[in-house]
Amino acid sequence: MERTYIMIKPDGVQRGLIGEIIKRFEQKGFKLVAMKLTSPGKAHMEEHYADLAGKKFFPGLISYMTSGPVCCMVWEGAGVVATGRKMLGATMPSESAPGTIRGDYCIEVGRNICHGSDAVDSANKEIALWFPEGISEWNSCQSSWIYEG
């Protein structure tokens, strides 16, 4: 089953949006298989965002992302990577549709409250980076009410 890495950024944690974001993924039918609140520091965050190291906003991004704890999660389900991105909304909150997390709860790209993996490959990399201890495998009693087969 596909998995994605979803992270509530320091502003989302400070603004009390952890429950709201978890609620949306739970109610959709996705399964939570790992979660923790952590402040990993600069080097770890730079590794997470290594692809963006050349961007002008990179130093600001790293200082934003290390300004407080982040809530790290792994969610599992069919198509969860692409659907998770749709649920988050566009990177730019001004372009995020109402009804999406970013569309409903933020205004600026530099304070866009949540992260979601953009592909299955990057999801697997991010899960390994953030959860070297592994995830929790469990069977949900809801699965036959969510999946047909």
Q: Which residue is nearest to ligand IDP (CB)?
A: 91
Asked whether 7 and 70 are in contact (CB, 8 A), the reply is yes
User: Based on CB atoms, which residue is closest to Mg ion, 29 or 44?
Assistant: 44
Shortest Cβ distance from residue 85 to Mg ion (Å)? 9
Asked whether 111 and 64 are in contact (CB, 8 A), the reply is yes
User: Based on CB atoms, which residue is closest to Mg ion, 36 or 55?
Assistant: 55
Grouping H, G, I as helix, E, B as strand and the rest as coil, residue 59 is helix
- Residues of this chain that interact with ligand IDP (CB under 6 A) are 52, 57, 61, 91, 109-110, 112, 115, 118
**Interacting partner of 48 out of Mg ion, ligand IDP, none (Cβ under 5 to 8 A depending on kind):** none
Residue recorded with tokens 């770890």:
44
User: Based on CB atoms, which residue is closest to ligand IDP, 57 or 147?
Assistant: 57
Site string for Mg ion, 96-135 (x = CB under 5 A): ----------------------x-----------------
Shortest Cβ distance from residue 116 to ligand IDP (Å)? 7
From the candidates 115, 116, 123, 131, give the one annotated as an active-site residue. 115
Beta strands 31-38 and 3-8 are unpaired
In the chain, alpha helices (H): 10-14, 18-28, 42-48, 58-65, 80-88, 101-105, 120-130, 143-146
- Counting residues that bind Mg ion (by CB under 5 A) gives 1
Contacts of 117 (CB under 8 A, 6+ apart): 4, 5, 6, 81, 84, 85, 123, 126
Residue ranges of the annotated binding site for ATP are: 9, 57, 85, 91, 102, 112
Active site residue 44: no
Question: Which chain residues interact with Mg ion by CB under 5 A?
Answer: 118
